[in-house]
Each structure stands twice: as C-alpha cells, then as structure tokens.
Amino acid sequence: MASPSDTSDADFSSLNPAAADAAINNADGKKYWEGINADVDGMLGGFAHITKVDLQGSRNFLAKFGIGTRSGLRVVSSALEGGAGIGRVTEGLLLDVAENVDVVEPIAKFTAALQGKKGVRQIFNLGLEEWQPAEGAQYDLIWNQWCVGHLTDDQLVAYLGRCKSVLNPGGVIVIKENNSTTGDDIFDPEDSSVTRGDDKFRALFKQAGLRLVKAEIQRGLQTPGGVKLFTVRMYALKPVDGYNHNNSGISMP
Ligand SMILES: C[S@@+](CC[C@H](N)C(=O)[O-])C[C@H]1O[C@@H](n2cnc3c(N)ncnc32)[C@H](O)[C@@H]1O
C-alpha cells in the first residue's frame, strides 16, 4: 500500500521483486483512490491516529535543514507537495513553513477543500508521472509522502528529475515513504503500488542525479494492539551538481 500499512497486508506472493514496479498501472491506482473517503483516515489507510506523530517527525526533520517557525529557523518562500491527497501535510505542516504551497494530486475530490485556501497557490489535479512544472516555477521545498509507490521506477526517476530542475539553490526534496521489510520491492494489487526497499530508493535517487543528504526513520508510529507497520523513512535530497553541492563529501545538510 502507498499509505501507512500493516506489514501483514503485504502480498509476498507477488512475483519477481526485481520487476515489481512493472505491475503498476497508474489508472488502477487512481481508481482505487477515487473510492476512498476524503478524510485523514482515508489518507492513512485507517491509521488516522498516527498523523500527529507523523507531522511532528516531519517538522523535526525539516528543522535540521533550518526550515521551520521556531526561532533560528526560516520560513521558505515556495513549497510543492506531490501526491498531497486532502492536504493533510500541506495544512498540517507546509503552510506553516512556506509562504506559498503548490499541490499535485490526481484525485480532484481530495483537493476540493484546498481551493482558495490562504497560501495554497496552484493545484494540479494530475498524477506525478504527468505533472510538468509551471513556467518559471521554483521551489525551496518539495515534499512527497506515501504516494511515490504509485510510480514505476522510471516514472519516479523522471519525476525527481523535474523536481530537481525547479529546485531553488539551497532547496531540498523530501521523500517520506514505507520501506519493505524484506528489502525487496513488493507490489500491492489493491491500490496498484509498490513498497520499495531502502536500497532501491537510494539507487533511484542516484539515478535521478540526487544526493541523499539525510535519511531518518520516523519513530513513534504506534498502533492499537501492536499491529506492526512498515518502517517509514524520510529522505532529504539535493542535486548532485549545482548550487546545493557541498564539497566536503560529508552527507550532511
Ligand atoms: C496514502 S495517500 C497520501 C496522501 C498524502 N501524501 C498524505 O500523506 O496524507 C496517497 C495519495 O497518492 C495519490 N496518488 C495516487 N496515484 C498517484 C499518482 N500517480 N501520482 C500522484 N499521487 C497519486 C492518491 O490519490 C492519494 O491522495
């Protein structure tokens, strides 16, 4: 599943893990989400209670890049949220730390309530695989959470390349996603998505010309009855070349 998910949901029968993404059908993924309620529980696969801890973890992660509202941190000018759903992250975090937020989300009913909201600038009702940045758009922060599993490996690399092309100097791209428990990619036919392994993510970032500057596991995602969720990792990425490059070779912000 692209959402936070019980590891027992994983379909390990799913074929050749090396080619798990080949089974993704973007239209099937969108069809699945059309049938999901436009609320936090819908976005989080029934685990709405984890949203507070999740958002706090994200806020702490961004603070490590100097982004935030606390003293000593800065509010950036422009952010993009990819696969934003109802705007749980946009409303719960990005609108606090960015003056303007653009949103990409294929399911129009999810973004309906974001229309006209202060700080929400442009809404693209498109899949990330279809999205092209608007002419002249530049972002300081691009956030993608629990959605890139809907893209094939090639689509993800191409999308990240587009993100890279519109990242301001000093900007950062964040991917926050489930990691598979086995290390192999797992295809889930229910929502036509893959859960990728940590190594696969890192290889795809490299392929997109991005440098991993920080990776952190989201802690504290407790579930009632101790149901075990997939590990959720936050990855912060900057272009290998260009303004963001630090010559020290140290993988730090
Ligand atoms: C688990 S929800 C996460 C929503 C939001 N990122 C959050 O964390 O609350 C997955 C989202 O991915 C969206 N999605 C499905 N296919 C997509 C695609 N091809 N490109 C972008 N988003 C997609 C769904 O419509 C849904 O809003």
CATH of the domain at 140: 3.40.50.150
What's the DSSP call for residue 242? S
Residues 129/149, Cβ–Cβ less than 8 Å: no
Q: How confident is the model at residue 134 (pLDDT cuts 50, 70, 90)?
A: very high
CA distances 108 to 33, 99, 124, 164, 175, Å, are: 10, 23, 9, 26, 22
pLDDT of 249 higher than 60: no
pLDDT value for 224: 77
Work out the angle between the directed axes of helices 153-165 and 198-207 (0-180°, nearest 10). 50
Nearest CA to ligand 1 atom 26: 85
Query: Which residue range(s) make up the domain with 93?
Result: 7-239
Residue 103: is its pLDDT beyond 80?
yes
In a domain, 246, yes or no: no
Residues 188-197: tens digit of each pLDDT: 999 999 999 9
CA distance 209 to 165: 11
pLDDT in tens, 57-86: 999 999 999 999 999 999 999 999 999 999
Sign of CA dihedral 183, 187, 188, 191: positive
Report how far residue 244's alpha carbon sits from residue 171's, in angstroms, rounded to the nearest whole number.
7
Reported pTM = 0.93
pLDDT of residue 9: 52
Q: How far apart are the first and last CA of the chain?
A: 30
Atom 10 of ligand 1, residue of closest alpha carbon: 147
Q: How many angstroms is it from 144 CA to the middle of ligand 1?
A: 9
pLDDT band at 247 (very low <50, low <70, confident <90, very high): very low
Residue 175 included in any domain: yes
**156 found inside a domain:** yes
Q: Which two tokens stand for residue 91?
A: 């409303």
Ligand 1 nearest atom to the CA of residue 26, by list position: 19
Segment 92-121 mean pLDDT: 98
| H or E element that contains 29 | helix 26-34
Residue 13 pLDDT = 42
What whole-number distance in Å separates Cα of residue 43 and Cα of residue 40? 5
Task: Among 105, 218, 232, say which to mutate for ligand 1: greatest number of ligand atoms within 8 Å of CB.
Answer: 105
Q: What is the mean pLDDT of residues 36-59?
A: 97
Task: Please check whether residue 80 lies inside any domain of the structure.
Answer: yes
In a domain, 247, yes or no: no
Instruction: Please report, rounded to a whole number, the percentage of residues in the chain having pLDDT higher than 90.
Output: 83
Residue 88 among known ligand-binding residues: yes
35 is in an annotated binding site: no
- Residue 59, annotated ligand binder? no
Query: Is 131 a pocket residue for ligand 1 (Cβ < 6 Å)?
Result: no
Which residue has tokens 């993100």? 163
Mean pLDDT for the stretch of residues 170-176: 98
The domain tally of the chain equals 1
12 located within any domain:
yes
Q: Does residue 225 sit within a domain? A: yes
Q: Does residue 97 fall inside a structural domain?
A: yes
Position 246 scores a pLDDT of 38
Q: pLDDT tens-digit profile of 196-212?
A: 999 999 999 999 999 99
What is the pLDDT at residue 8?
A: 63
Residue 14 pLDDT greater than 70, yes or no: no
